[in-house]
Amino acid sequence: MTLKIYGTAASRAARPLWVAEELGLAYEHIPLPYLGGATRTPAFLAINPNGRIPALDDEGVIVWESMACALYLADRFKPAGVPSLAAENHAEQAEILRWSFWVVSECEKDALAILMHRELMPAERRKPQLAEEAERRLLAPLRVLEQHLQTRDWLAGTRFTVADICVASVLAWAQAATGLMAQCPGVDAWLRRCLDRPAFQTVRLMVKSA
């Protein structure tokens, strides 16, 4: 077993873990938490000098940044008998790249604010106003995605790809914003299709069992 994925599933490491599960890869999961100094040890800093998760080690090829890890795995591994998550042509590659970068620049900050102030933080520390402001900002990019999904089921080409993983892994954080999702029913339906996949459910179980 030569592929190692570092980072607890309750973090952005869920992205490469989801890819690995979709592809049925054999890998070693090292569930380092992002708190408590686990990512600041000399051993881990030798892998990612930024001291952040996720990171992966593929026979000495080191990758960090969650989207880079996901994109790398999809391009690197194409097991026989398993549907590829990678691009089959330049047009699909363009879609995969643009949506993966789009969700980080246009959606991730506000989706995280919704997650924190609607679900994760202790009730006494939540600030509903910050969640509401994030929802208002997130509506504009979600409408862009809504338009894209009017004529297709998936983001790139006609099949589920790593683009869907990258974008769904971020927008899953905003599921608690039911009013926001109701305004983008195409996005909501697409997101549910992604998150209902067995591979994602496996990663979700990793979170619950951690």
Judged on CB neighbours under 10 Å (0-12, 13-18, 19+), 50 is exposed
* 57 and 106 together in one domain: no
On average, the pLDDT of the chain sits at 96
Please give the pLDDT value at position 209: 81
The residue out of 36, 58, 83 marking a domain boundary is 83
* 45 and 69 together in one domain: yes
Q: Is the pLDDT of residue 1 over 70?
A: no
The residue out of 36, 62, 83 marking a domain boundary is 83
* 76 and 98 together in one domain: no
* Residue 204 falls inside a structural domain: no
**Antiparallel, parallel or unpaired: β 3-6 and 55-58:** antiparallel
The residue out of 83, 111, 140 marking a domain boundary is 83
- Read off the pLDDT band of 167 (50, 70, 90): very high
- Read off the pLDDT band of 35 (50, 70, 90): confident
Overall number of domains in the chain: 2
* pLDDT, tens digit (0-9, with 9 covering 90-100), for 119-144: 999 999 999 999 999 999 999 999 99
* Residue 207 falls inside a structural domain: no
**Domain holding 135: CATH number?**
1.20.1050.10
Q: What is the b/e burial string over 29-49, where b = at least 16 CB atoms within 10 angstroms of the residue's CB?
A: bbbbebeeebbeeeebeebbe
* Residue 176 falls inside a structural domain: yes
β-pair partners for 63 = 56
* 103 and 79 together in one domain: no
User: Residue 26: left if φ>0, alpha if ψ -120 to 50, beta else—which one?
Assistant: beta
Cβ neighbours of 85 (radius 10 Å): 25
Report how far residue 210's alpha carbon sits from residue 204's, in angstroms, rounded to the nearest whole number: 10
* 152 and 193 together in one domain: yes
* 79 and 94 together in one domain: no
* 21 and 119 together in one domain: no
* pLDDT, tens digit (0-9, with 9 covering 90-100), for 8-24: 999 999 999 999 999 99
Provide the residue range defining the domain that includes 110. Answer: 90-199
* 34 and 133 together in one domain: no
* 195 and 95 together in one domain: yes
